[in-house]
């Protein structure tokens, strides 16, 4: 039994690194602590509790986690410090020895932050840590949170069974697992009752949904589509071999699933895909993109690419660049390969120099911008429905069309969290958005 009187008048700050899934989980932790009476500290206030949700996808992410710990300890002297997330799972004992850390919680304890706050008594010499081997983790920690934005993030799956050679996620998050479809429908219904209109479906490998329950991702999609009040769903990321033609076809006629897909490619040559142990080749990927374009001609298609992996020679990068250039996609998310301890990629010859990784990243980022701008240009002068978000003070309000074009207009409180039909004008000054030429109607 938790004695909530310990938490009276206590304040907490939260720091998150990494993916959308981490941000969703942090928001759930925040909500749990708020329900126990722990207020989120305002800017400039000294907090009694610091929660860091860590990432381990790159060395830089781990470095940022340690820097965040030291910064928060300085800013909030005497605060009780909790570290959780992927880095906490992979290196719990190491993190427990960081100055000021009181408790480190592995992936199976991520939903138990409140239970591990104790009486908030600081540890004088090194913190405690709790993390069981990832292969033994079977529990699913639910998360459906809005945070500070209009959109909700619904976690539908966790873990991964793919073991790509460059990736630590299966070791950090454990094996693939998920809750029942009915549980997720109930969470979506609760979001609708709270006024939510858009939900982003998140997870580690969401197309693998159903392994734990004998269900399928398409059955989840169909069930969520029937939730009244939720006007929009977006699929955060789905493997090319798991986004079936049935799913694409269903989205094309769906009431609420938006024409917006994020499909990781990771490498644009068959040679490097094979080294990565990816489950498709470039021909398969190109055909999948063609299918999306045929059934969803106006869809925004985002694609992940990793540059500079071991074995990616200059010739193979050029081959990848030309392949990606020929794809009818909307934007790239470009990542530089980072050596990860314990991964099979370390056994591959042909390490790429940091300067060369930077050059390749820059080339693909430039290509991405050309593709995004060309995609946006197609819709100038056309009508679109935008879900607007609450603007920051003194800033224009922004939102997204159904096919994920960023749109901006002068702030109008009446349009916050509202679907508004507009006519799209030209680019904003920084070319990151299209401007509203005319407001047609509020839906």
Interacting residues of 30 by C-beta distance below 8 A, sequence separation 6+: 12, 14, 40, 51, 145
* Predicted pLDDT at 5: 78
Residue 415 sits in the same domain as residue 336: no
CATH code of the domain in which 235 resides:
3.80.30.20
* Predicted pLDDT at 419: 96
Sole residue written with tokens 């799209």:
424
Q: Give me the domain span that covers residue 334.
A: 144-377
Residue 242 sits in the same domain as residue 326: yes
Q: Which residues pair with 420 in a beta bridge?
A: 386, 442
Last residue of a domain, one of 348, 377, 406: 377
* Predicted pLDDT at 147: 62
Q: Pick the closest to residue 51 from 78, 69, 24 (CA basis).
A: 69
The answer to whether residue 177 is domain-embedded is yes
Residue 193 sits in the same domain as residue 295: yes
* Predicted pLDDT at 134: 81
Taking the C-alpha atoms of residue 92 and residue 133, their distance in angstroms, rounded to an integer, is 11
**49-54 and 80-85 strand pairing:** parallel
The answer to whether residue 138 is domain-embedded is no
Residue 64 sits in the same domain as residue 93: yes
Residue 397 sits in the same domain as residue 368: no
Residue 168 sits in the same domain as residue 312: yes
Q: Pick the closest to residue 367 from 402, 400, 399, 331 (CA basis).
A: 331
Rg, the chain, Cα only: 22
CB 369 within 8 A of CB 198: no
Structure tokens at 414: 């009446």
Last residue of a domain, one of 132, 164, 186: 132
Structure tokens at 276: 């990565």
* Predicted pLDDT at 148: 61
CATH code of the domain in which 81 resides:
3.40.50.12160
pLDDT < 50 regions, the chain: none
Residue 271 sits in the same domain as residue 221: yes
pTM: 0.90
Residue 152 sits in the same domain as residue 49: no
Interacting residues of 109 by C-beta distance below 8 A, sequence separation 6+: 84, 116, 130, 131
* Predicted pLDDT at 2: 63
Residue 322 sits in the same domain as residue 392: no
* Predicted pLDDT at 3: 65
Taking the C-alpha atoms of residue 286 and residue 296, their distance in angstroms, rounded to an integer, is 15
Residue 87 sits in the same domain as residue 199: no
Sole residue written with tokens 């941000």:
23
Q: Residue 441: what are its φ and ψ, rounded to 5°?
A: -170, 150
Taking the C-alpha atoms of residue 260 and residue 153, their distance in angstroms, rounded to an integer, is 15
Residue 58 sits in the same domain as residue 75: yes
CATH code of the domain in which 401 resides:
2.40.50
Last residue of a domain, one of 335, 355, 377: 377
Number of domains the chain contains: 3
SS3 of the chain: CCCHHHHCCCEEEEEECCCHHHHHHHHHHHHHHHHCCCEECCCCCCCCEEEEEECCCCHHHHHHHHHHHHHHHHHCCCCEEEEEEHHHHHCHHHHHCCCCEEEEECHHHHHHCHHHCCCCCCCCCCCEEECCCHHHCCCCCCCEECCCCCCEEEECCECCCCCCCCCCHHHHHCCCECCCHHHHHHHHHHHHHCCCCEEEEECCCHHHCCCCCCCCHHHHHHHHHCCCCCCEEEECCCCCCCCCHHHHHHHHHCCCECCEEECCCECCCHHHHHHHCCCCCHHHHHHHHHHHHHHCCCCEEEEEEEECCCCCCHHHHHHHHHHHHCCCCCEEEEEECCCCCCCHHHHCCCCCCHHHHHHHHHHHHHHHHHHHHHHHHCCCCCEEEEEECCCCCCCCEEEEECCCCEEEECCCHHHCCCEEEEEEEEECCCCCCEEEEEEEEEC
Sole residue written with tokens 């950090």:
172
The answer to whether residue 314 is domain-embedded is yes
The answer to whether residue 139 is domain-embedded is no
Q: What is each CA distance from 345 to 155, 305, 308, in whole angstroms?
A: 29, 16, 12
* Predicted pLDDT at 351: 95
Residue 149 sits in the same domain as residue 207: yes
């Amino acid at each position: 039994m938790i004695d909530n009187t310990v938490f009276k008048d206590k304040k907490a700050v939260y720091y998150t690194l990494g993916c959308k899934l981490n941000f969703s989980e942090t928001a759930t932790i925040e909500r749990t602590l708020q329900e126990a009476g722990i207020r989120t500290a305002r800017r400039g206030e000294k907090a009694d509790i610091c929660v860091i949700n860590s990432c381990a996808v790159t060395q830089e992410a781990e470095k940022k986690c340690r820097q965040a710990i030291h910064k928060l300890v300085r800013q909030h002297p005497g605060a009780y410090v909790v570290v959780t997330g992927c880095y906490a799972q992979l290196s719990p004992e190491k993190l427990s020895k960081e100055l000021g850390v009181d408790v480190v919680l592995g992936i199976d304890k991520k939903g138990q932050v409140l239970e591990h706050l104790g009486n908030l008594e600081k540890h004088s010499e090194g913190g405690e840590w709790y993390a069981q081997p990832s292969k033994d983790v079977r529990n699913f920690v639910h998360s459906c949170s809005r945070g500070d934005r209009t959109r909700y993030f619904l976690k539908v799956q966790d873990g991964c069974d793919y073991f790509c050679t460059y990736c630590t996620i299966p070791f950090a998050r454990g094996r693939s697992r998920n809750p029942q479809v009915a549980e997720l429908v109930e969470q979506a219904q609760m979001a609708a009752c709270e006024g939510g209109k858009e939900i982003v479906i998140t997870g580690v490998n969401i197309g693998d949904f159903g392994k734990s329950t004998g269900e399928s991702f398409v059955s989840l999609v169909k069930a969520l589509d029937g939730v009244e009040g939720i006007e929009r769903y977006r699929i955060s990321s789905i493997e090319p071999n798991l986004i079936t033609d049935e799913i694409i076809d269903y989205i094309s006629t769906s009431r609420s699933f938006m024409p917006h897909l994020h499909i990781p490619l990771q490498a644009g040559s068959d040679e490097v895909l094979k080294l990565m142990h990816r489950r498709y080749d470039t021909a398969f990927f190109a055909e999948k993109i063609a299918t999306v374009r045929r059934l969803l001609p106006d869809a925004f298609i985002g694609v992940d690419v990793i540059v500079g992996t071991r074995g990616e020679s200059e010739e193979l990068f050029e081959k990848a660049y030309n392949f990606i250039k020929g794809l009818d996609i909307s934007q790239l998310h470009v990542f530089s390969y980072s050596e990860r301890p314990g991964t099979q990629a370390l056994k591959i010859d042909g390490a790429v120099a940091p300067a060369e990784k930077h050059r390749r990243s820059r080339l693909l980022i430039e290509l991405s911008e050309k593709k995004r701008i060309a995609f946006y240009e197609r819709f100038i002068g056309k009508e679109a429905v935008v879900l607007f978000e609450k603007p920051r003070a003194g800033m224009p309000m922004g939102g997204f069309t159904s096919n994920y074009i960023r749109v901006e207009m002068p702030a109008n409180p009446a349009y916050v969290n509202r679907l508004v039909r507009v006519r799209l004008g030209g680019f904003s000054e920084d070319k990151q958005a299209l401007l509203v030429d005319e407001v047609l109607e509020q839906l």
